[in-house]
Amino acid sequence: MPAVIVVLVLCTGALQSLARQAVLADVAAQSARALARGGSPPALPSGAALSEQRDDGAVCVTVRGSSPALGLPLTARACALDGGL
């Protein structure tokens, strides 16, 4: 029975990590588009950090955070054309 509980906890942690990764990817994409248009990025989820890089007419944003249950580092990156519509 304890093994079943451990497996359920790990599965729940994995699902939370996947959900957090999806949120970070969405925030990275929205931030890249907003910064490319000259605006400000949306609010970051708690515990997340944003870094911006401009290169060859593109704005790339990297958002770093961690898995809430397992504490694993998570990273999402997105790029948009600078001055995009």
pLDDT digit string (tens) for 9-61?
889 999 999 999 999 999 999 999 999 999 999 999 999 999 999 988 999 99
- Judged against a pLDDT cut of 70, whether residue 84 lies above it is answered with no
Domain ranges, ordered by start, for the chain: 2-81
Q: In what order do the strands lie in the sheet with 49-55?
A: 49-55, 58-66, 73-81
Rounded distance between C-alpha atoms, residue 31 and residue 43, angstroms: 9
CA–chain centroid gap for 55, Å, is: 20
∠ at Cα 32 (41, 48), nearest 5°?
55
